Amino acid sequence: MPPETAPTRSASLAGTAPPTVEPLAVELRVSLLRTARKLRAMKSNDELSDGQFSVLSHLVVHGPRTPGELAEAEHVRPPSMTRTIAVLAEAGLVERTDHPVDGRQVLISASAAGVRTVEETRAQRAAWLSRRLAELTPAQRAVLAEASAILRTVISE
């Protein structure tokens, strides 16, 4: 739905009838996907694909992992993960070390440059979203805060 015809949050605040479930589901899906796409597109390293950044971010958050563990966590096949790791290693964003227990395995960890890339990307994304939120009225931000809490309950399993 084009932005000029999209229902506004202020309309629901003005006392109009709440939307029915199906149109609301469509509107939320579209809005969430567009927001996520916009945020994903913001990376401090434009050379990285979304999948490569996801692996790098996983390593920063969870620490060193074997290629198999990364493949499982990212829901890809091991050969795909091997290619992703190779690209990240070539870019100097990850490092390989011997596994401390299993000599047949290696551990992949984020390098200092990889950590910086993730931190800079997160800061860039947060700054963009903060700028956008600052353009809203306090009432609109309050609605979004409430919606955020509600969405957490919607997605919890």
pLDDT at 15: 57
pLDDT at 99: 86
The answer to whether residue 82 sits within a structural domain is: yes
Measured CA to CA, the distance from residue 63 to residue 107 in angstroms comes to 10
| 7, 26 contact by CB (below 8 A) | no
Question: Which CATH number is 100's domain given?
Answer: 1.10.10.10
Q: What total number of domains does the chain contain?
A: 1
The answer to whether residue 23 sits within a structural domain is: no
Residue 71 has pLDDT above 90, yes or no: yes
- Which range is least confidently modeled, 13-17, 68-72, 136-140? 13-17
Beta pairing partners, 96: 108
The answer to whether residue 90 sits within a structural domain is: yes
pLDDT in tens, 21-63: 898 899 999 999 999 999 999 998 889 999 999 999 999 999 9
The answer to whether residue 40 sits within a structural domain is: no
Measured CA to CA, the distance from residue 127 to residue 122 in angstroms comes to 8
The answer to whether residue 24 sits within a structural domain is: no
Cβ-Cβ contacts under 8 Å for 106 (sequence gap 6 or more): 66, 67, 96, 97, 98, 99
pTM of the model: 0.78
The answer to whether residue 62 sits within a structural domain is: yes
The answer to whether residue 65 sits within a structural domain is: yes
Domain with 72, as residue range(s), is 50-111
Q: Which two tokens stand for residue 30?
A: 């579209």
The answer to whether residue 70 sits within a structural domain is: yes
Angle between helices 50-62 and 67-74 (to 10 degrees): 120
Q: What percent of the chain has pLDDT over 90?
A: 73
